[in-house]
Chains A and B, each alone.
Chain A
Amino acid sequence: MRVKLLGTCLVDTFFPDAGEAVVKLLRYFGVDVVYPKDQTCCGKPPNSAGYVDEARHAARHFISVFQGDEPIVIPSGSCASMVKIHYPELFENDPVMKEKAENTARRAYELTQFLVHVLKAHESGLRAQGRITYHASCQLTRELGVREEPLLLLGSLQGSEFVHLAHADRCCGFGGTFMGKLPEVSMAIADEKAETIIRTKADTVTGCDLGCLMNIKDALKRAGSEVQVKHIAEVIAEGL
């Protein structure tokens, strides 16, 4: 099976290790991973900030770069929700583009959706180590409706212990541009998230969105915590 991979801006800029983990994981399942070189941002930040024309510009580029029949794998809940939910909305008044956007949306999978529904990775005897807890990010759960998939994967990891995080689906304070607009409130929310993570006595916190994980990592550092912060692909890939 061949897939096209969206690297995402945060992987490209800050977390290349998470991107390598995604590729390693997909290859483990025999997937041929194509990384379109001229890919750019999916347009999520301008769309959330109300710059719909700029978002539409990015979406046209994405749709053209990722055209084809292969599934598109996106290791980010917020980028995946942009492609799957918002792309078709952006071309509501353009029937030709709308059809292309819907085709792209149908082929797009958030990483854990692809791992569970296509690869059945949660039934493959995957392994990990230590005590792991999980932050359920906002757009992943509320927009995309991905609630069970990460839990199925994490619950299936032999050799590790999954610990539930209290209010796991409460915002981490990142909220995209919110963090830039109201940093004091954003940090206060992140500090509460860090407190609940520390209380689980987990040694690793994971999630499906690097934006949240970046914010959480910062808050844990402020709290002097040793808890490791890893994308779900890294947690799984380390055990392969």
Chain B
Amino acid sequence: MSGKSGLHFRENAAQAVQDKSLRDAMRNSTDTFTTKRTLGMASLPIEEWRDRASGIRMKVLDSLPDYIERFSASAKAAGASVHMAADAQAAREIVYGILRDRSVKNIVKVKSMVTEEIHLNPYLEERGMSVVETDLGEYIVQIAGEPPSHILAPAIHKNRRQIGRLFTEKLGVDYSDDPVVLTGIARRVLRQEFLKADAGISGANFAVADSGSICIFTNEGNGRMATTLPPLHIAVFTIEKIIPSLTDLPTFIRLLPRSATGQPLSSYLSLIPGTR
């Protein structure tokens, strides 16, 4: 994973398959995910839940403009501001505009694939803002200057020895390849970032039309820190994340963590309705 442009996928992939430690790391992680998922799904009516979830998604997609209206009205009633972006450039400009108007300098981020896709971090950094990823895997790839390689496990391509060397080089700490030690180092560094942040940016796993709330699944507590500690929270998400009602949420709560990591529930499940 060289961090080169994704526009040369075939060349990058051809080079990456020659990297033995990368292949080993990917294989280990994939095997772990697959096994956990199989165990997490065993003896549950998963297919029935998936059909129900798919039905909810199709219902929303069939009347998407209505649901966008409903979500916007509910979110505004709960005190949030709602902005619509037609494309990536519009989304970057809207986010930057909000941050600039509030003189934001330091931003903490919760893992969000859509902000990766629209290249939000470099856009904000080029305009003088500091952006720190707070999910451990995202933090690792950010300080390595690489894009995430997996939507659930951004640093899936790195083994603990590589991460140990990276921390020594970038953070000036003593070398360790003990995951507990490495996590402790990241925790101490990130704690300072949370405390000095003027804004938190997250994505959303779901946006609930009837309550105007957004829902985030995380395992590290960084999602809750980044959305509650700084005075400003911006959630960037795509319109197909909308579900009709809070009563639809349990179907997805059952499916998402099990399907992703095999967990019956992620460590943190945050429902954020408008302003506090």
Contact = CB atoms under 8 A, between A and B. Distances in A.
Interface of A: 167, 181-182, 184-185, 187-188, 192
Nearest to A188: B17
Nearest to B13: A185
Contact of A184 (B14, B23, B31, B34): B14
Contacts of A182: 9-10, 13
B168 to A, nearest CB: 31
Nearest to A189: B17
Interface in B4-35: 9-10, 13-14, 17, 23, 27, 31, 34
Given A182-B9, A184-B14, A184-B17, 5 more contacts: A167-B34, A182-B10, A184-B10, A185-B17, A192-B27
Chain B contact residues, majority secondary structure: helix
Contacts of B10: 181-182, 184
Interface of B: 9-10, 13-14, 17, 23, 27, 31, 34
A188 B23 CA distance: 10
The 8 closest A-B pairs by CB, nearest first: A184-B14, A188-B17, A185-B13, A184-B17, A182-B10, A185-B17, A182-B13, A184-B13
Contacts of A167: 31, 34
A200 B14 CA distance: 28
A97 B13 CA distance: 43
Contacts of B34: 167
Q: Which of B13, B17, B23 has its CB near the most chain A CB atoms (within 10 A)?
A: B17
Nearest to B31: A167
A181 B17 CA distance: 15
A183 to B, nearest CB: 8
Contacts of B14: 184-185
A187 B10 CA distance: 13
A184 B13 CA distance: 8
Nearest to A185: B13
A152 B13 CA distance: 38
Contacts of A192: 27
A210 B17 CA distance: 25
B255 to A, nearest CB: 17
B36 to A, nearest CB: 14
B241 to A, nearest CB: 26
